[in-house]
Amino acid sequence: MTCCGDATIIGQVKPNSSAPDPAMLASETFSISGLHCAGCISKVERRVAALGGDTSARVNLTRQTVTVRAPADGFDVTPALAAIRDLGYVVRPLAEAPETDETGRELMRSLAVSGFAAMNVMLLSVSVWAGADGETERFLTWVSALIALPALLYSARPFVRSAFKALSARTLNMDVPIAIAITLAALMSLVKTINGEGETYFDAAVTLTFFLLAGRLVAHSTRERARNSIRGLASLTAPLARRVMQDGTVRVVSVKSVRPGMVLELAAGDRVPVDSRVDGYAGTFDASLVTGESQSVTIGAGHEVGAGLLALSGPVRLTALRDADDSLVARMRSLQEAAESMRPHLSRIADKAARIYAPVVHLTALFTMIGWMIAGASFGDALTIAIAVLIITCPCALALAVPIVQAAAMDVMFRRGMLVKDGAVLERLRAVTSVVFDKTGTLTGPRLRADAALDDDALADAAALARHSTHPVARALEAEALRRELELPLATGVKELPGQGVVGMVRGREASIGRPTSIPSDAAENVPAANANVLLRAGLPPVILPIEDTVREGADQLIEGFKERGMTPAIISGDTEAKVAEVAATLGVSDWTANAKPAEKLALMQQRADAGERVLMIGDGLNDGAALAAAHASIAMADATDLARASADVVLTSGHIGDVAGAMVLARKAHSLTVQNLVLAGIYNCIAIPIAIAGFASPLAAAIGMSASSVVVIANAQRIRAG
């Protein structure tokens, strides 16, 4: 593995065939963070354009990406990236190639087509209601049919497809009654048009489709935005290892190709690629993300070191013991997958509603038809009334009731730095009965010691560099500088070396912050503690940055809050007993477990689940991945490992543990609004169904009732934004 320097950019280079330019252009997309406003966009784009040579950049603020275009011949984005970094933005390769949002596009196209059809068919219907008769009515009805039928064939596909999927899996979802209502409305109206019998439901069918598509698009784009942000966070450790060949030369190879017996070399700041044995000299490793231990460990020659540990000293020689697939990280991942499959199938509130609702409506329609036939109506008339019942009770409001609330809630949370992966998470979050915390990195985080005798100048320089990193230590430095209200100088040429620190130019001096062993400077020898964070500046004596692991701000109130709601917070940590006991005592947590290995964490979670508890797990480490996946609901910190982020339901990008309380409040609010919406939809049906059964449902009443109930439900959902 190498550092995240310019040489390790991964991703594919696509020749851009659509460019009219005779000189072929290629483009590559990177994640960029720190963009906020119009100024940022133009700064980045102009800076790259100023480089000349047909190199250009295009920022996408929504996705927080920047696409760099350069001539395909000798494609080189390094100068452009360096220029953007100089401006103070953090540019990283995307962990995965950006995908186009095909579902969103399909919904948008369908929405456009159904919107067009709805407007025009409504126009024609108004003419019919206004009293067009005879030839004119027939003509208008035929035109409606010609617009509505193709439009429905095109734009109702998302519902029909989903309904088919549910039926073939022998379940019911909300799309089943929707698809049936739309299909029946279209077919009945077509028959009536052919027979010249008047009253058709084309308008109801297309408006229904339009409203539902709009609701679905809103829900989808909210989810997509959260997903994009999570992808932007994804870590960028290139899957590479340095292999020492027979002749002593070092070659960079992919981790996948490492076989047991191969000799590997680690520089300080590299992660151990596969489970290995330490050769030669002992090495110091940071295991905090893997096991939760906050103290670094020294592993002597001949001992085994697990994949994922971070080398603090270097170089270290290793002999590979296992393949990548059998290594620690991979084993944890399979543990997580197993935990996920054990998670009880949690049915969503919307599907629950559909499962009750669909049979009731369909039986009502059936009995209506039988009732009318017994009462002496002809088969055709009875069928017409039955279909009217189906259409008028169409689950428009009901289908919107849940997702629209969830979309609004997710949007609010997104703005506050909480990324929610799925709306259903909110339901689970509300239902938790107990809460389990990880310690290292979750309840505790690094902070600059308060009694630090650190002068303002040194802190300002350190913070100027720290701004460019998301590492918790860097955040701590920046927070302290902000607290002291220091004016930060501009750092240029900044480079982050993962696990080592940040280097760059500050006030015309070469400077770096991080672990001293890793910083290429002569001054390093003067630094005593091997494990401390140090600020080095050319020509100035080194300054130790006194960082300590302390309880994060807001953690105590959060735990107090949980206690007030009658939950007993627990800590399950991989750290030593003494450290966990200390933190537990500070926070007043009586239920704690120390020295827990990942499998034990998982077992403890399962014990709780078996005891009937619905556990909320909050963690960040590699060792938490399985436990997060097994929990009823889970929250990960932003600087968590990929695995933890992948298994958690909510990712806190704000980094404030106290935000968990906000998430819980919003989840509860969303639930009460969902229930309100379901009641509103129910009330609408209680009024509409008797009218339809009695045979008084005109297409006009159907269209108005449906639209009004949808608008009421959507408006009610927006109340979550208030307060």
Distance CA 129, CA 390 (A): 22
Distance CA 425, CA 348 (A): 9
Residue 677: closest CA among 185, 160, 114, 215 = 215
Contact between residue 509 and residue 538 where contact means Cβ atoms under 8 Å apart: yes
Q: Which residues between 313 and 342 bind other proteins (CB under 8 A)?
A: none
Q: Which is nearer to other proteins, 119 or 694 (CB)?
A: 119
Angle at 470 between CA 468 and CA 475, to 5 degrees: 90
How many residues sit close enough to other proteins to count as binding (CB under 8 A)?
Answer: 30
Q: Which is nearer to other proteins, 136 or 171 (CB)?
A: 136
Q: Which residues between 35 and 54 bind other proteins (CB under 8 A)?
A: 37-39, 41-42, 45-46, 49-50, 52
State the nearest-atom distance from the C-beta of 393 to other proteins, in Å: 30
Question: Which three-class secondary structure string do you get for 321-349?
Answer: CCCHHHCHHHHHHHHHHHHHHHCCCCCCH
Contact between residue 504 and residue 522 where contact means Cβ atoms under 8 Å apart: no
Q: Is 438 a catalytic residue?
A: yes
State the nearest-atom distance from the C-beta of 473 to other proteins, in Å: 31
**Token digits for 655?**
């980094």
Q: Which residues between 85 and 144 bind other proteins (CB under 8 A)?
A: 105, 108-109, 112-113, 116, 119-120, 123, 135-136, 139-140, 143
Choose the binding region for other proteins from 59-67, 227-235, 362-370, 589-597 (rule: CB under 8 A).
Answer: 59-67
State the nearest-atom distance from the C-beta of 9 to other proteins, in Å: 23
Q: Under 8 Å CB-to-CB from 643, ≥6 apart: which residues?
A: 329, 332, 333, 336, 622, 625
C-alpha dihedral sign at 660, 666, 667, 668: positive
Q: Which residues between 239 and 298 bind other proteins (CB under 8 A)?
A: none
Sheet strands (E) in 174-315: 240-244, 250-254, 263-266, 276-279, 283-286, 297-299, 304-305, 310-311
Q: Which of 10, 19, 61, 82 binds other proteins (CB under 8 A)?
A: 61
State the nearest-atom distance from the C-beta of 136 to other proteins, in Å: 6
Q: Under 8 Å CB-to-CB from 358, ≥6 apart: which residues?
A: 172, 176, 177
**23 by DSSP, 3-state: which?**
coil
The DSSP secondary-structure symbol of 524 reads G
The DSSP secondary-structure symbol of 542 reads E
Q: Which is nearer to other proteins, 233 or 401 (CB)?
A: 233
- Catalytic entry in 411, 438, 461, 575: 438
Q: Which is nearer to other proteins, 59 or 214 (CB)?
A: 59
Q: Which is nearer to other proteins, 140 or 604 (CB)?
A: 140
Radius of gyration of the chain (CA): 31
Asked if residue 213 binds other proteins (CB under 8 A), the reply is no
- Which residue blocks in 77-201 are alpha helix, DSSP H? 78-86, 102-129, 134-155, 157-168, 175-195
Distance CA 329, CA 326 (A): 8
State the nearest-atom distance from the C-beta of 38 to other proteins, in Å: 4
State the nearest-atom distance from the C-beta of 144 to other proteins, in Å: 11
Residue 633: closest CA among 621, 653, 645, 650 = 650
Q: Which is nearer to other proteins, 49 or 282 (CB)?
A: 49
State the nearest-atom distance from the C-beta of 195 to other proteins, in Å: 22
Angle at 621 between CA 618 and CA 623, to 5 degrees: 100
Q: 107-135 burial by CB neighbour count: b if 16+ within 10 A, else e? A: beebbebbbebbebbbebbebbeeebeee
Q: Which of 2, 8, 60, 576 binds other proteins (CB under 8 A)?
A: 60
State the nearest-atom distance from the C-beta of 689 to other proteins, in Å: 34
Q: Which is nearer to other proteins, 50 or 611 (CB)?
A: 50
Contact between residue 179 and residue 160 where contact means Cβ atoms under 8 Å apart: yes
State the nearest-atom distance from the C-beta of 104 to other proteins, in Å: 9
**Token digits for 84?**
């953007």
Distance CA 653, CA 418 (A): 6
Distance CA 552, CA 561 (A): 15
Q: Which is nearer to other proteins, 59 or 176 (CB)?
A: 59
Q: Which is nearer to other proteins, 37 or 169 (CB)?
A: 37
Q: Which is nearer to other proteins, 62 or 254 (CB)?
A: 62
Q: Which is nearer to other proteins, 127 or 183 (CB)?
A: 127
State the nearest-atom distance from the C-beta of 81 to other proteins, in Å: 18
Contact between residue 318 and residue 278 where contact means Cβ atoms under 8 Å apart: yes
Contact between residue 174 and residue 400 where contact means Cβ atoms under 8 Å apart: no
Helix (H) or strand (E) holding 374: helix 349-374
State the nearest-atom distance from the C-beta of 145 to other proteins, in Å: 13
Binding site for other proteins (CB under 8 A): 37-39, 41-42, 45-46, 49-50, 52, 59-63, 105, 108-109, 112-113, 116, 119-120, 123, 135-136, 139-140, 143, 147
- Which residues form the catalytic set? 438
